[in-house]
A and B are shown apart, each in its own frame.
Chain A
Amino acid sequence: MRLDLTILIPHLGFLAEGALLTLEACALALIGSVILGMLVAIARTSSSKWISRLAFLYVDLFRNIPFIVQLFFFYYGLPEIGIYIDAFTTGVVALSIAGGAYASDAIRAGILAIDNGILEAAEVSGLSKRVTFTRIVLPIALRTSVRPLGSVLINMILTSSILSTITLNELTGQAKIVASDTFRPFEVYVVLLVVYAALTYLVSLGITLLHRRLNRDLQEQVS
């Protein structure tokens, strides 16, 4: 069998729709998991035992259950007890919850790495806890956690292919349809390989640029 990519031309728009859905779901889930990760990271450093325990439980739990099981639970399990959520929302929520567990690790590490003297300087100058957190703790933590957060995002893009199992026709879902319509799985999946690789490559490039921007002071020092 020869590789003949031209047979896919009529299906490109269809595949692009899927890629767009993948990007949409991942973008929303990224926001969701970073916010969740932030809250959980704060909760994990909380002085209240119950709050920090709950946060640790969440992280341990969701990191130790296969994503597909979590997803099936939300999509096929919850309706049994009367909770119906559409496939797209389920996908975004599931990715956010799973990603949040990893994101909280990245953010927590960034927070813990902050030099205590910097926080003391903020404290004695009278800055409120809120301002200290938003203007000092978070931006400094992000400087170091942007890379691990990037890995979380890349993993999320890869994991999002599993959303096709709950009828969500993102990139992989659309590809499956095209493969069965055209009987050319080889070509279809070659394209899929390339598209996922390109997608994650672009994301990691973006992360590198963002990392460089957040740490621009250190860059210039070296040069």
Chain B
Amino acid sequence: MLKVENVKKAFGPVTVLDGVNLTVNPGEVVSILGSSGSGKSTLIRCINGLEKLNAGKITVDDFDVSKPKELAEARKRSGTVFQLFNLYPHMTALQNITLAPIEVLKRPKAEAEAEGRALLTQVGLGDRADAYPAQLSGGQRQRVGICRALAMKPRYLLLDEVTSALDPEMTSEVLDILAKLAKDGTTMVFVTHEIEFARQISNRIVFLEKGVLLVDLPTEKFFAADGGLAQPRVAQFLSKMRKD
């Protein structure tokens, strides 16, 4: 279980997360919606330990990310996919994927490579294992980014707007993969502006507004008139997103 309890985070005088509570159970896909600046990325960055909390607690399978000794264990259990891919530019697709399994999990190189190739094949990049990031399209890079996260066999996959740097065609090739992962029962925390897609794959949708988790509802309920839509801010947000 991934548990966010009463988390507060401020940058200087600006409060970005103001008492956020969120629980993600294994097998769930939870999408985080919210307007720009509402704190979605910050929440993800608190979960993977890139930002320190000011208050509250985040545990990943009971490992507290605020405790240096437990952070390493927590990080082994979560994998992050980034908006801008953040691939290692000097390494091939395969090397990007196998570095952490070999160095962190101490997997034998041959095994890590075989698994890496299998992952690449799953995302349709079986023939690009030896390509460098600069030689790949945006969509291909992001698929490598997803493989890199999956190679660590994480319990929880954290995705922060992983398609917003891609054009529509590439977006759909990445979303197809995420849909498949969701179907296979991968646990995901999914920050996105792709409302329709979130609706298709999520078990739950949460809505963040100015650092406060306004709504946390099962997907059906979130889009129901007497559910999420009853919240004026959510209704406003959804109608604005649909117009864009």
Contacts and interface: CB of A to CB of B under 8 A. Distances in A.
A122 B86 CA distance: 9
B34 interface: no
Interface residues of A, number: 24
Interface string A133-156: 001100110010000000000000
Interface stretch (A51-59, A84-92, A124-132, A193-201): A124-132
Nearest to B78: A124
A69 interface: no
A120 interface: yes
Given A143-B90, A217-B90, A123 B100 contact: no
A221 B80 contact: no
A140 B149 CA distance: 21
Contact of B88 (A121, A216, A221): A121
A47 to B, nearest CB: 15
B75 interface: yes
A126 B104 contact: yes
Contacts of B87: 118, 121
A220 interface: yes
Given A117-B84, A217-B135, A125 B148 contact: yes
A125 B99 CA distance: 9
B82 interface: yes
B152 A121 contact: no
Interface residues of B, number: 27
Contact of B50 (A120, A127, A220): A120
Given A124-B49, A125-B104, A115 B86 contact: yes
A121 B90 contact: no
Contact of B72 (A126, A139, A218): A126
A135 B99 contact: yes
Contacts of A117: 82, 84, 86
A109 interface: no
Contacts of B84: 117
B103 A217 contact: no
A214 interface: yes
B89 A140 contact: yes
Contacts of A122: 88
Contact of A121 (B72, B86, B134, B135): B86
Contacts of A217: 89-90, 132-135
Nearest to B100: A125
A217 B134 CA distance: 6
11 contacts: A117-B82, A121-B88, A124-B80, A125-B149, A127-B104, A128-B103, A135-B99, A139-B90, A214-B90, A217-B135, A221-B134
Interface of A: 115, 117-118, 120-128, 131, 135-136, 139-140, 143, 214, 216-218, 220-221
Interface of B: 48-50, 72, 75-76, 78-80, 82, 84, 86-90, 99-100, 103-104, 132-135, 148-149, 152
Given A120-B82, A125-B152, A221-B134, 9 more contacts: A118-B89, A121-B86, A123-B49, A124-B48, A126-B100, A127-B99, A127-B100, A140-B89, A140-B90
> Closest 7 interchain pairs by CB?
A217-B132, A121-B86, A125-B100, A117-B86, A126-B104, A217-B134, A124-B48
